[in-house]
Amino acid sequence: MKYEKGFVMVEAVIAFSIFLLLTLSILPFYIHLKQQRANLEREYMARTSLYNELLYQTYNSHHHSPSTTNFMFTFQNVQGGKRGCVSWYTFHGKEKKVCEVLFP
């Protein structure tokens, strides 16, 4: 055995175990990052939709714009402007709400 070259089965199993350990320890972090990215994209879409709805309702006589989204909007008239709020659910099912005020 002194002159044999190559890997022994034990070395291959240990190397595979280390690779598997590293992969499985990084996987939850990667999944968490993907979920956070999805939440940020959804928040961006909600804020953009809210701004567009506020512009539409402020400068048009209609109460609702023709666009359809999965967000829930509420609007109130405030002194000299319009206040709009949008709510949506995150990837984990938590409700988030953002409000903006637009003065024409």
* pTM attached to this predicted model: 0.70
Please give the pLDDT value at position 70. 82
Q: In the predicted model, what is the mean pLDDT of residues 25-52?
A: 94
Evaluate if residue 62 carries a pLDDT over 70: no
Contact 48, 23 (CB under 8 A): no
- 100 in the Ramachandran plot: left (φ > 0), alpha (ψ -120 to 50) or beta? beta
Q: Give percent of the chain with pLDDT exceeding 70.
A: 87
Contact 88, 46 (CB under 8 A): yes
Evaluate if residue 63 carries a pLDDT over 70: no
Q: What is the pLDDT of residues 3-34, one digit of tens each?
A: 667 768 888 899 999 999 999 999 999 999 99
**The two structure tokens encoding residue 30:** 């990667």
